[in-house]
Amino acid sequence: MNRRALFAQAIRGPILLITIGVLFAIHQAGVINFSRTWPLIIIMIGILKLIERLLMPTSPVRGPLP
């Protein structure tokens, strides 16, 4: 695995924690109820997995075994 893919995998947790913290702060400010923002967490997980998948090196296609 290359460095960029490892970096994308390593920052997944901190980015999710920051996202959850921001959503709780918005909830505490009374702007939006947290129960209405939980789909953003699922969207963030999907975006981070997509980035991770795009940065992973592709394996070469091998021919049939003899």
The percent of the chain in helix, strand and coil, each rounded to the nearest 5, is 70, 0, 30
Give the pLDDT score at 39.
87
pTM, entire model: 0.68
Residue of 45, 43, 34, 59 lying closest to 11 (CA atoms)? 45
- In order along its 66 residues, the chain shows pLDDT tens digits of 678 778 888 888 898 899 889 988 999 999 988 888 888 889 988 998 888 888 877 766 565 666
Give the pLDDT score at 29.
93
Distance of CA 6 to the CA centre of its chain: 13
Residue boundaries of the structural domains of the chain:
3-55
Give the pLDDT score at 25.
92
Distance of CA 54 to the CA centre of its chain: 12
